[in-house]
Structure 1
Amino acid sequence: MSAALNVRARWRELTTTLAGVALFAFGLAELYVPLAGYVEGAGPDLAALPDGWLAVLTVLLVGYGLAVAGCTAYPRAAAVLAGACFAAQSFTPVLPEWPVVPLLALLAACFGCVAVGGRAAPAVAALSYFVSLGIENAMAGDSDWVFILFVGLAVFGPGYAVRMRRAQAARLVALAAEREAAARTDERLRVARELHDIVSHGVSVMVLQAGAAQAVLDGDPDQARASLDVVQDVGREVVTELRRLLVILRGAEAVPEGLPSLRRIDPLTAGVRLAGGQVDVAVTGDLGTIPAAADVSGYRILQEALTNAARHAPGSTVRVSIEVAGDTLRLDVVDDGAGPARRSAGTGHGLTGIRERVELFGGTFSAVPRAQGGFEVRVELPFDAEASAAVLPPAGITG
């Protein structure tokens, strides 16, 4: 968008420069080619003027050409220059109303000033136009203000219309830039959430299993080896998911089968079980009707809830309920862990990430300690049932 605007601005400046050169060339022809009087029976013969006045008129002609050439690049300065040259010519033997160049230059400079100038540009253009024509009328002994007002309206009206259209276009460009910046911010937040979910869950399980291996290393080497095998497997899974995320960020097509899904939560529940806990999963409804976006978000929410349970309540029993009712996905994760180290409701980056994911779908989220002990995470994600064509291919789920 900005590149297109820059090209248009360069073409506009080139056009006005050529117009200024053309107007200057036409003015030279008016001055130095022996033509008849410009207004029959009224104007002086320009070719018969003394050399001194011709030099003065040539200098003023240069000013007119510069004003037209710079009426878009320097609109206010161009309007002031054209008005000053027009007023100065009123004191010469050739009033500016007779040759066509002065009036065209003044009108073009005022139009450009109103159309593309800054906040004070319309006032500068109006002052330049009416003062210079007022001086010219006084020197000519003429008071044709009706004509002056008519020409002024014919110039300032279209110029103001162009000004309004440019302002509207600028607002649209600014709005598009704001939306693009907001989209980039949302994308960064999405990537940050994905990284947090992937790394936090994997590292938490690896730390727990490494601790378990260290605890039984001397007494039960087989169990220690099993825990270390889990650390290795989880590490590979984390690396695989990070590579998949990088592929998506680079713009390559992601393979739908490789996306996380609520129909493949065995790795999540296995991590809790290997940490000494127990997971009971209950599924109600058809998971195949969940669109891909809600499916991935539900998986990440469940991953974070189980990670919190494994981290803060190791060895507890976790009950997971996944329900699909119409166009709503409900997740309920309850553990029976207790103790002073339990997290409070709504704190921590994990719960914040869950809340942000839920807000993207306009759903509801609660995370509170239970009166009888333990912690409960409850989520409702509404989704568009029409988008279910984008869901993942069927896969089994076990608890």
Structure 2
Amino acid sequence: MDEAARRAAPLVVAVLVVIGAILSSQRPAVALAGATVAVLVTVALAVRAASGWTLALGLSVAAAGVAVVCHDHPANLGWFTICVLVGWCAFAAPAAIALTFGGVLMLGFVGQWLVYSDESGWGAWIAGTAFTTVACIFARRQRVLLDQLREAQAGLADRTRAEERNRIAAEMHDVIGHALTVSLLHVSSARLAMDEEPAEARASLEEAERLARRSLEEVRASVGLMRSGPADAAPLPGAGDLPELVESYRRAGAPVSLRVVGDPGALHATASLATYRIAQEALTNAVRHAPGARTEVELRVEGDATRLTVDSDGPPGRRTPDGVGLASMRERAEAVGGRLAAGPAGTGWRVEAVLPG
């Protein structure tokens, strides 16, 4: 029960018991005493924000005060106070307590009816009390479900934002990691050839510049896709771009080979991008941790499955503490319904991804 309703409840009770006292057949002093008890108890319960059995017992005392005021007259409008009390209990206490409290008050009306059997109005108050109890319990349940739904939506929004941040981080990690690794190979070659082979050094620097520009375009494309949507963004690379990816490592002096079986163009866009990014990260790791070792890339597109294998002959070297690259590859594979395995194979390291076709 919210704060506003809890503050309003004693006021409503006070108005109804005053009306009941005016219409009461009791002596004024007795009616005033019953009304005072009902009002003071409800005010105390509201101030303390009582709930559970404490609330039910307090409201029972208030109901007794109402019964004193409206005693033996079913036509007295003060009996509406009982409906307010059962509604209060239904909104602020568990359903079992509210049902028990409502049942006790209905038994009170039954007792009045048995004593004053010639009055049929007690049946209406029994029905009204039952209806108010059940209706308020259902209303409270709906409010609880609505609050839970809002919390779930808020949690889903937070999780979506976190997943989006992780996706952006993975995309930037793959693009920038590849660019820096290959550019570093070209710059190293240019430095070694600067004195003896100026033309070769110049070509290496030009290739590093070209790669940096292309990587910058990929970063812009990724950011544009996140901001504007697929319709307004430049196309992202896919499995069909693997030959160019492998060639960029060859131009940098890395012994990398590629074998493609099947048609990479048959892959849907999401799986195609995942294939490219996994191969990109696997090659980056191979060149970084086992420089100079032969690396073989094989892509098989067969039926409903696509298998990408990246084998490096050299030892894997020291693994980075965060393991971001391996985690990123695994997440990309699982995001499209595939799986990824990475580990020692022979004298080197193997990354194998199986993705749906």
Q: For 1:69-124, what per-residue CA distance to the aligned partner results, in whole angstroms no more than 9, with x for missing partners?
A: x8xx98879866754343124445x527545433222123313422x3244x6426
For 2:249, give the aligned amino acid: V
Q: Tell whether 2:334 aligns with 1:355.
A: no
2:98–2:133 CA contact under 8 A, matched in 1 = no
Equivalenced residue count is 347
**Is the CA contact (8 Å cut-off) linking 2:311 and 2:348 kept in structure 1?**
yes
In structure 2, the partner of 1:117 is 92
Cα pair 1:75 1:109 within 8 Å, conserved: no
Counterpart selection for 1:231 from 195, 198, 208: 208
Compute the displacement of 1:202 (Å): 1.0
CA distance in 2, matches of 1:99, 1:24: 18
Paired position in structure 2 for 1:320? 297
Q: Summarize the alignment of residues 236-247 of structure 1 with structure 2, pairs less than 5 Å apart.
A: 236-247=213-224
- Which secondary structure does the structure 1 equivalent of 2:185 belong to? helix
TM-score (norm 1): 0.68
Cα distance change on mapping 1:23 and 1:278 into 2, 3 Å: same
Q: Which one-letter code corresponds to 2:342 in the other structure?
A: A
Q: Could you tell me which residue of structure 2 aligns to residue 269 of structure 1?
A: 246
Cα gap change, 1:111 to 1:149, in 2 (>3 Å): same
What is the correspondence of 1:142-221 to structure 2 with a 5 Å cutoff? Answer: 142=115, 153-221=130-198
Letter in 2 for 1:227: S
* Distance in 1 separating the partners of 2:239 and 2:171: 16
Q: Take 1:348 and 1:282, find their aligned partners in 2: how far apart are those partners?
A: 27
1:379 partner SS: strand
Letter of the structure 2 residue corresponding to residue 109 of structure 1: L
RMSD, aligned α-carbons: 4.4
Any stretches of 5+ residues in structure 1 without a counterpart?
Answer: 1-8, 33-37, 384-399
Q: Structure 1 residues 75-84 or 94-103, which shifts more?
A: 75-84
Stretch of structure 1 that moved more, 293-302 or 260-269: 260-269
**How far is the alpha carbon of 1:382 from its aligned partner?**
1.2
Which residue of structure 1 lines up, in the alignment, with residue 81 of structure 2? 105
User: Who is 2:64 aligned against?
Assistant: 87
Aligned-residue identity in percent? 26
CA contact (8 A) 1:87 1:133 kept: no
1:271-286, aligned counterparts within 5 Å?
Answer: 271-286=248-263
Of the three residues 335, 340, 352, the one matched with 1:378 is 352
Q: Residues 141 and 294 from structure 1, CA distance in 2 versus in 1: closer, same or farther, beyond 3 angstroms?
A: closer
Aligned-partner Cα distance in 2 for 1:237–1:312: 24
The answer to whether the Cα contact below 8 Å between 1:287 and 1:324 also exists between their aligned partners in 2 is yes
- Name the CA shift for 1:130/1:248 in 2 (closer, same or farther; >3 Å): same
| Alpha-carbon offset, residue 299 of structure 1 | 0.7
Aligned mates of 1:310, 1:26 — CA distance in 2: 84
TM-aligned CA distance change 1:54 to 1:123, over 3 Å: closer
Distance 1:30 1:332, change over 3 A: closer
Q: CA, structure 1 residues 375+141, in 2 after alignment: closer, same or farther (shift >3 Å)?
A: closer
Answer whether contact 1:280 1:319 (CA < 8 A) is retained. yes
Which amino acid is 1:375 matched to?
W
Cα distance change on mapping 1:234 and 1:108 into 2, 3 Å: same
Amino acid at match of 2:161: R
Q: Is the 8 A contact 1:358 1:380 kept in 2?
A: yes
**If the length of structure 2 is used for normalisation, what is the TM-score?**
0.75
Secondary structure of 1:250's partner?
A: helix
CA displacement at 1:301 relative to structure 2: 0.6
Measured in 2, the distance between the counterparts of 1:271 and 1:315 equals 15
1:96 and 1:136 in contact (8 A); partners too: no
The CA deviation at 1:211 is: 1.9
Match of 1:258 among 217, 235, 249: 235
- Give the superposition deviation at 1:267: 4.3
- Preserved contact between residue 259 and residue 299 of structure 2 (Cα < 8 Å): yes
CA contact (8 A) 1:205 1:275 kept: yes
Instruction: Show structure 2 runs of 5+ residues with no match.
Output: none
Distance change (3 Å), C-alpha of 1:289 and 1:352: same
